[in-house]
Amino acid sequence: MCVVYVVLVLYMRAGWTRLPVIKPSQAAIQHKVSVIIAARNEEQNIGRTLDCLMAQDFPKELLEIIVVDDHSTDRTSEIINTYANRGVRLISLEAGDKLNSYKKYAINKAIDLSTGEIIVTTDADCRMGPQWLRTIIHFMEANDLYMVSSPVSYHEEKSYFENLQTLEFLYLIGLGAAGIGNGNPTTCNGANLAYRKSVFYEMGGFKGIDELASGDDELLLHKVAEQYASRIGFCKAKESIVYTDAKENLSSFLNQRRRWASKSTKYKDKRVVALGVSIWLFNFALLVNILCFCWADAEAERLIFLSILLKIAVEFVFLYPVLSFAGRKSLIFNLPLLSILHSVYLVYIGVLGNIGKYDWKGRSVN
């Protein structure tokens, strides 16, 4: 299994290398864009996100901003309304407690009411630079793409635990980008995702995946990839990075990862399933071997130690250029510790992410 894992990670490294670095362009934008945010109880963050959108270097006549308030119980709607005279449109949900996937419902409703030809989704706790939208849309138009995934990174960390999360999260973002680079899109992040509205409707929107609370990004990517894998791109530009916050504690982190892992029950592409299973089995086998280390003979101890070193080494080979791109190379010194902890949490999440319920935005969902 160790050899399989090394080969897989090196394959993903090649995919990352295949992606060209994108430079910002001042070329004229051709399509109207609707930026959509689904927000629930985000009074502490939504103003900062909307300020970033207001500061975009993008033709105002081609930009529409829609925020869907998902039954917030705080001042979220009130804050959004203060931006109404600057073109921000507020939609308030009135779906009650009958849904499992409020976010997909919110995005779908916003798309139905939008006027843009290109949909861009982000989250209510994100920040982005002024060239963010122009860089992504120009890349999309110049390459005639149907869907574009772009980088997301944690930022402004307040603890060592949050630094570890940033390193792990950039690993996930890098894997998603590498899959696109290899022509086999596997993952993306809805905090920085663009797609043509016509393709969204052609794919039937979220139909077939709407019962899951999560998956408005990755499962939609899979639907598009079934027919148009070659028309999906990754905008590998520093200007296109969206920044958000890491989780403050372990409980919140594990809850988030359980939500992300719950999407795997809907994977249809056998290659994606095989990739996930292979990675999980390797980490499970590695943990079993580490637990048995004290009872192993000298030869077995050497093999276990070699497996750990190979895991760290190949992850270094993959992560270093990703961290360099994101301007976070100093995080690489945390890799040896994260590599071991990652195996523990990956095995744990791989099981619990597919059973039971979890909390999300104050709701218990599955």
pLDDT range class, residue 39, cuts 50, 70, 90: very high
Band (pLDDT 50/70/90 cuts) for residue 187 is very high
Which token pair is 224? Answer: 């598009």
Assess whether pLDDT exceeds 90 at residue 48. Answer: yes
The C-alpha atoms of residue 69 and residue 36 are separated, in whole angstroms, by 11
Give the residues across from 233 on adjacent strands: 148
Within a domain: residue 343? no
Q: What's the total number of domains in the chain?
A: 1
pLDDT exceeds 90 at position 33: yes
Residue 235 identity: C
Q: Report the percentage of the chain scoring pLDDT > 90.
A: 66
Asked whether the predicted pLDDT for residue 272 surpasses 60, the reply is yes
Establish if 50 belongs to a structural domain.
yes
Give the integer Cα–Cα distance in Å for 134 and 128: 12
On whether residue 314 sits in a domain, the answer given is no
Q: Which residue has the higher pLDDT, 308 or 13?
A: 13
CATH number of the domain where residue 54 is located: 3.90.550.10
Mean pLDDT, to the nearest integer, of 145-149? 98
The residue segments making up the domain with residue 65 are 18-248
Q: Give me the mean pLDDT over the 58-81 stretch.
A: 95
Q: What is the pLDDT of residue 355?
A: 63
pLDDT band per the 50, 70, 90 thresholds, residue 273: confident
The token duo for 118 is 């290109």
> Tokens 């148009």 — which residue?
228
Residue 366 has pLDDT above 80, yes or no: no
pLDDT, residue 289, reads 78
Spatial contact of 43 and 76, defined as CB atoms under 8 Å apart: yes
Looking at the domain assignment, is residue 271 inside a domain? Answer: no
Q: Is residue 332 one of the residues assigned to a domain?
A: no
For residues 270-280, give the mean pLDDT. Answer: 75
Alpha-carbon distance values, 310 to 7, 315, 322 (Å)? 11, 8, 19
d(CA 277, CA 105): 30
Q: What percentage of residues in the chain have a pLDDT greater than 70?
A: 90
Q: What does pLDDT average to over the chain? A: 89
pLDDT of 274 above 80: no
Q: Are 38 and 125 in contact (CB under 8 A)?
A: no
Nearest Cα to Cα of residue 80 among 48, 112, 110, 128: 48
Q: Rounded to an integer, what distance in angstroms lies between the CA atom of residue 136 and that of residue 244? A: 18
31 occurs within a structural domain: yes
Q: Using CB atoms within 10 Å of the CB of residue 219, give its burial: 0 to 12 exposed, 13 to 18 middle, 19+ buried.
A: buried
* pLDDT at position 35: 98
Distance of CA 136 to the CA centre of its chain: 16
For residue 347, tell me if it sits in a domain.
no
- Per-residue pLDDT reduced to its tens digit, 293-351: 667 667 767 787 888 899 999 999 999 999 999 999 999 999 999 998 888 888 888 77
What torsion, rounded to 10 degrees, do the Cα atoms 274, 280, 281, 287 define? 170
What pLDDT does 356 receive?
57
Please give the pLDDT value at position 143: 96
Q: Do 291 and 347 contact (CB within 8 A), yes or no?
A: no
* pLDDT (tens digit per residue) in 240-259: 999 999 999 988 888 888 77
> In degrees rounded to 5, what are phi and psi of residue 147?
-145, 140
CA dihedral 169, 173, 178, 183 (to 10 degrees): 140
**Does residue 190 carry a pLDDT above 90?**
yes
Whether the per-residue pLDDT at 233 is higher than 90: the answer is yes
SS3 119: strand
Average pLDDT in the 248-272 region? Answer: 77
pLDDT score for 145: 98
The string of pLDDT tens digits covering residues 95-116 is: 665 665 788 999 999 999 999 9
pTM: 0.90
Whether residue 359 is predicted with pLDDT greater than 70 in this model: the reply is no
* pLDDT mean over 13-41: 95
Please state, in angstroms and rounded to a whole number, the distance separating the CA atoms of residues 150 and 216.
15
**Sign of the four-CA dihedral 182, 183, 184, 185:** positive
Taking alpha carbons only, the member of 174, 122, 127 closest to residue 331 is: 174
CB 106 within 8 A of CB 70: yes
Domain-embedded: residue 70: yes
Which distant-in-sequence residues (6+ apart) come within 8 Å of 14 by Cβ? 178, 181, 182
pLDDT of residue 108: 94
Question: In 143-195, which ranges are continuous DSSP H helix?
Answer: 160-181
pLDDT at 307: 84
